[in-house]
Every structure is written in structure tokens, then in C-alpha cells.
């Protein structure tokens, strides 16, 4: 991050600080706080990257996004609490005045959790555009109720034929395939996790190679490889969908070690989410057959 440019601009603005009216000072106060939050966000992200992952840390693309959203929200709260005072120092250097005091939040506001947070999806491959979603509805870690968001359903519709072909080839239910894709990548063919899992069904390079996937960024190849791997897990656990889904996230060795869904918070949430989506897609398919 180039910190020199914002600070240099701030110094230049000091010459005209005397002309700032009340609204200008309010905007400046917000700008320096936003700068402090961004700086703190980079710090938190850098510190998190130094923490080693253990074998019990299952991971999905959605989990990485939630971590980024948490870090940014934490950075905002630290900045607004004046714990470090970087924003205040910038404000003083520009205006030669103390920063305005923020009004104390009401008890109702203080108890409310943030309802939206910025989200940036990773561009998965070289040359792919970075896709941005301005806001994402708040979702508690244990939230597994309801159908997949409409955006996910729309994306899945683009791959209906590929999903059907893979289902017929490997003998896996289409509803289960859709549920796994929805939970793994939100239907984003360019999804890339922090552990380098790629594409719609979030295949690692090792799994992709084992399943004979030649081009992991080709949606058809990726879905076919993911469904083939899912089929091997279903066979390994005698058709037990819950254990197969848990294995897709945490690895079959963890499921065998614990005799079921392992005590990994992310995996437990992942299994609930996939099974919830599975129920939705099964009901949707049953409704289509009746019509």
C-alpha cells in the first residue's frame, strides 16, 4: 500500500485548511478515519497471514471472505474508538485544530450489529477481472436457514447442462451437486480461496490432478472433476451424504478419525449449509416434476 500519496495530499491540504467550513471539516474527519481503518485493515491482514494453519482448519472460499469482512469491520471499530489516533494526528496536521468529537451512540445503536460490509471477490486467474459486490447482507456464522441467495441461483442456472451431464456420468444427484457448488464458490467460476482452491467446486491442484482435470478454470472440467471426487467420497462412506459432504470440506481422514463430522467449526457450519441447500434444491426439483 502506498501510504506516501495520502499523507502527502494531506500535507498539501493544510495550506487551505483555513477555508474549510463546518461541512468540509466533517468530511475531512471522516476521510482521515477511513484512511486509518484501511491502514489497520492491512495490518490485521498481515498479522493473520503469519498464523500457521493446522490440520483441523477446514477452509472454503466463503470462509475466506468472511475473515476479510471481519478484519475490515474490526479495523473500522478500532479506528472509530481512537485507540491509535492516526486519523486524529492527520486531522490536526491539516487543520491545526483538534478533531471534532463524535456524538455518543444511543444505547439502541450501540447494541446493533453492522448490517452490511464491503466485499471484494478474488479474480481467480491471470487476466480475469476483479469482481466486486458493493454490499453483502449480514449473516451470522451459524446462519443456515433459507434458500441460496438469488444471485447464486442465477449463476447456477448458467451451468445447468454441465451439472446434469456430470450427474449422469458419475451417478450423483444434481441437487447435491448444486448445493456443494453454492456453498463452495457461490457459483463463481473464477473463485479462488486463500488455500488456492479453484473454480466452481473449489478444487485444489492435487485433487484436480487426481480427478483428471486438465483445465481447472474450464467450468465443465471443474464441475466434472468435483462431482467425480464427490462420488468417490459417497462410495467411501457407503452413500452417507453427511459424511461425504464433511469430507469434501475437511478431508476424509478427519471424518474417519472422528467417526463423523469432525469438531471443526467451519466444517460443521459448512455441512449444515450444504444440507440446507440440498433440501431446497430437492424441493425445487420435486415441484418441477409435479408441474
Max CA pair span of the chain: 75
Give start and end residues of each alpha helix (H) in the chain. Answer: 4-13, 22-49, 61-80, 86-95, 107-111, 150-157, 160-170, 174-185, 205-210, 219-236, 241-250, 252-258, 265-290
Distance CA 109, CA 281 (A): 38
Identify whether 184 is a catalytic site residue: yes
Cα dist. 74→37, 43, 68, 265 in Å? Answer: 9, 11, 10, 21
Distance CA 278, CA 208 (A): 24
Contact 119, 69 (CB under 8 A): yes
Query: Which helix (H) or strand (E) covers residue 118, if one does?
Result: strand 116-120
CA angle, residues 235, 148, 245, in degrees to nearest 5: 20
> Which of these, 22, 25, 19, 1, lies nearest to 90 by C-alpha position?
25
Annotated catalytic residue within 36, 59, 184, 266: 184
The C-alpha cell 408441474 sits at 291
3-state SS assignment for residue 275: helix
Question: What DSSP string runs through 12-36?
Answer: HHGGGGGG--HHHHHHHHHHHHHHH
3-state SS assignment for residue 260: coil
Q: Residue 189 burial by CB count (10 A; 0-12/13-18/19+): exposed, middle or buried?
A: buried
Contact 64, 266 (CB under 8 A): no
Residues annotated as catalytic are 184
Amino acid at each position: 500500500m502506498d501510504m506516501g500519496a495520502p499523507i502527502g495530499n494531506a500535507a498539501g491540504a493544510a495550506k487551505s485548511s483555513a477555508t474549510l467550513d463546518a461541512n468540509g471539516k466533517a468530511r475531512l474527519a471522516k476521510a482521515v478515519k477511513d484512511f486509518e481503518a484501511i491502514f489497520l485493515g492491512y495490518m490485521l491482514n498481515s498479522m493473520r497471514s503469519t498464523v500457521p494453519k493446522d490440520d483441523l482448519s477446514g477452509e472454503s472460499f466463503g470462509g475466506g471472505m468472511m475473515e476479510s469482512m471481519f478484519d475490515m469491520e474490526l479495523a473500522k471499530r478500532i479506528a472509530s474508538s481512537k485507540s491509535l489516533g492516526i486519523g486524529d494526528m492527520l486531522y490536526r496536521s491539516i487543520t491545526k485544530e483538534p478533531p471534532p468529537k463524535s456524538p455518543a451512540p444511543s444505547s439502541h445503536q450501540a447494541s446493533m450489529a453492522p448490517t452490511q460490509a464491503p466485499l471484494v471477490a478474488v479474480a481467480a486467474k491471470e487476466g480475469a477481472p476483479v469482481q466486486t459486490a458493493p454490499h453483502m447482507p449480514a449473516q451470522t456464522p451459524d446462519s443456515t436457514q433459507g434458500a441460496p441467495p438469488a444471485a447464486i441461483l442465477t449463476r447456477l442456472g448458467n451451468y445447468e447442462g454441465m451439472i446434469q451431464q456430470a450427474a449422469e456420468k458419475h451417478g450423483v444427484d444434481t441437487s447435491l451437486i448444486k448445493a456443494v457448488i453454492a456453498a463452495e464458490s457461490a457459483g463463481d467460476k473464477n473463485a479462488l480461496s486463500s488455500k488456492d482452491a479453484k473454480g466452481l467446486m473449489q478444487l485444489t491442484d492435487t485433487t484436480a490432478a487426481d480427478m483428471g482435470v486438465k483445465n481447472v478454470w474450464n467450468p465443465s472440467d471443474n464441475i466434472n472433476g468435483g462431482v467425480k471426487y464427490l462420488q468417490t467420497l459417497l462410495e467411501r462412506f457407503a452413500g452417507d451424504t453427511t459424511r461425504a459432504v464433511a469430507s469434501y470440506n475437511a478431508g476424509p481422514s478427519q471424518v474417519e478419525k472422528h467417526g463423523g463430522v469432525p469438531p471443526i467449526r467451519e466444517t460443521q457450519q459448512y455441512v449444515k449449509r450444504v444440507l440446507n441447500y440440498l433440501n431446497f434444491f430437492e424441493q425445487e426439483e420435486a415441484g418441477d416434476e409435479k408441474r
